[in-house]
A and B are shown apart, each in its own frame.
Chain A
Amino acid sequence: MSEVIDVSKLDRNFKYQVINEPGGEGLLSCFACGTCAASCPVREVDERFNPRKLIRMVILGMKDEVLQNEFIYLCSGCYLCQERCPQDVGITELMTALRNIAVKEGYLHPSFKAQLEFVYGLGRLYELTEFDNKKRAKNGLPELTPVVDEVKTLLKEAGLSKFVEVEE
């Protein structure tokens, strides 16, 4: 990134918002050594995803750029960076914290929204159709049924029903 950062557009409180979010506590320990970027299997295939750069952006207060960009969703959650980080920043957890903040700010990635709809509506990520259960029976496996009500109740308790457009 070669463009100049406009200091007036930075949100200096963003870093405090992040360290107060579960998973974000280690943010300020980062001394930018780059072990995370060197370990990252996603960065190996897509240069746009760079955990070190992302951490600097968060600390600088580039809130909009961080939360509106695709790359906080590109972390595959493999924990290699987290294992190797000499400062215990907890980078994988930090990615979860950033995603959770994005949701609190009103943005839910379409992929996660789709998953939420399934879990909310079925209690599972995949629908178990009659066909699936027939196949299961053929393979000598027990029948499975959806577990809806209790999961739905809990997701409502957690305040997530507002993101789910399906009936209700």
Chain B
Amino acid sequence: MKYALFLGCTIPVRGQNYEMSARRIAKELDIEFEDIKEFSCCGFPVRSIDKEAQLLISARNLAIAEERGLDIITLCNACTITLQEAKLELDHDPELKKRINEKLKKVGKEYKGTAKVKHFARFLYEEYTVDKIKEKIKKPLKNIKAAAHYGCHFIRPTEVYKDFDDPEHPKSLDELIEATGAESPDYPDKQRCCGGGILGIKEEDALSMTKNKLDDVKSVGADCMISICPFCSIMYDGNQKKIEKTYETEYKIPVLYYPQLLGLAMGIPADELGFKMNRVKTKNFLAKVEGQDEA
């Protein structure tokens, strides 16, 4: 089956390790992605300025996928909630849909509501299924503790994700992690936000939120943290050193994108999964993964 790959803004520039690993495992799992050059920003940054302007940008992207008869697969949590919520609102409010389509005419587009939107991790969980993933595992990641970070917009709000995971006690990402043979530990305040949403508003508050989470992940002795959102990764991976310096502490916790973890377990070399672009060094982690091979 073929899907339109919606990269969003952050991934192609600041999350190429996510993009590389997602494309690599999709190839291995026979999931075909089509790149669509006309896709723009999902609309999320405009939401706080003018909700209807956001809907316009979101609806344009959805219409582009519809024209090609493709469903959308997203990699970023913010793109996911923005596009899925826009779809929900447009499909349930005929007047809004009419108003939006009136304006979309200016760019020769029409939103119909035929394309579905799904996050890649949710797609792997619901449609590819954990059982089939298990069949693809060549190097089970035994003795690896990989702490799941869902990211808020993967499971909340319920209004948008009502048919999916539990917003307070989700299990999808934990099960996806465990499919690789790794352990997905419970840890305090697992649903806590990374703080990324206010990084541009008040950096010290945002980093303080990130620190709280890193403390909790460290407290259970995790070998790595697993993210499925580029902005969460910017907070935990990109800003980890800064937080260590500011708070005079040490974490050295590698932050992997889920496709990187799965790729390793599928026997794909780390180089092909973009590990070189991870900011927190993964050398010791990868040695531990390799080490158990010989054991």
The CA-CA distance from A117 to B106 in the complex, in Å, is: 21
Name the contact of B107 in the complex, choosing from A78, A150, A163 (C-beta under 8 A).
A150
B76 to chain A, nearest CB (A): 11
Pairwise interchain contact B51-A23, C-beta atoms closer than 8 A = yes
**A60 an interface residue at 8 Å Cβ cutoff?**
no
Interface residues on B, range: 35 or more
Stretch from A9-17, A27-35, A105-113 contacting the other chain: A105-113
- Residues on the A chain within 8 Å of B40, using CB: 119, 123-124, 147, 150-151
The CA-CA distance from A105 to B144 in the complex, in Å, is: 53
The CA-CA distance from A92 to B198 in the complex, in Å, is: 14
Pairwise interchain contact B209-A45, C-beta atoms closer than 8 A = yes
Q: Given the interface contacts A123-B40, A144-B37, A157-B56, does A100 sit within 8 Å of B9 by beta carbon?
A: no
A45 to chain B, nearest CB (A): 4
Pairwise interchain contact B202-A83, C-beta atoms closer than 8 A = no
User: Interface residue count for A (Cβ, 8 Å)?
Assistant: 59
Give the residue among B168, B191, B201 with the most A Cβ atoms within 10 A: B201
Pairwise interchain contact A160-B157, C-beta atoms closer than 8 A = no
What's the dominant secondary structure at chain A's contact region?
Answer: helix
**B53 an interface residue at 8 Å Cβ cutoff?**
yes
Pairwise interchain contact B198-A74, C-beta atoms closer than 8 A = yes
- Residues on the B chain within 8 Å of A41, using CB: 192-193, 195, 209, 212
**B257 an interface residue at 8 Å Cβ cutoff?**
no
How many A-B pairs with Cβ below 8 Å? 178
B27 to chain A, nearest CB (A): 11
**A87 an interface residue at 8 Å Cβ cutoff?**
no
For B9, the closest partner residue in chain A by CB is A125
Q: Given the interface contacts A76-B195, A79-B152, does A153 sit within 8 Å of B12 by beta carbon?
A: no
The CA-CA distance from A82 to B85 in the complex, in Å, is: 15
Pairwise interchain contact A100-B50, C-beta atoms closer than 8 A = yes
Pairwise interchain contact A70-B49, C-beta atoms closer than 8 A = no
For A138, the closest partner residue in chain B by CB is B16
Q: Given the interface contacts A135-B16, A147-B40, does A70 sit within 8 Å of B202 by beta carbon?
A: yes
Name the contact of A76 in the complex, choosing from B37, B46, B104, B209 (C-beta under 8 A).
B209
Interfacial residues, chain A to chain B (CB-CB below 8 A): 22-23, 41-42, 44-46, 49, 70, 73-80, 82-83, 92, 96-97, 99-100, 103, 108-109, 111-112, 114-116, 118-119, 123-126, 128, 132, 135-136, 139-142, 144-145, 147, 150-151, 153-155, 157-160, 163
A and B contact pairs by CB, cutoff 8 A, 24 listed: A41-B209, A44-B209, A74-B198, A74-B201, A77-B153, A79-B152, A80-B156, A108-B49, A109-B48, A112-B48, A114-B200, A119-B40, A119-B57, A128-B12, A136-B16, A139-B16, A139-B274, A145-B37, A147-B40, A150-B38, A150-B107, A150-B109, A153-B106, A158-B52
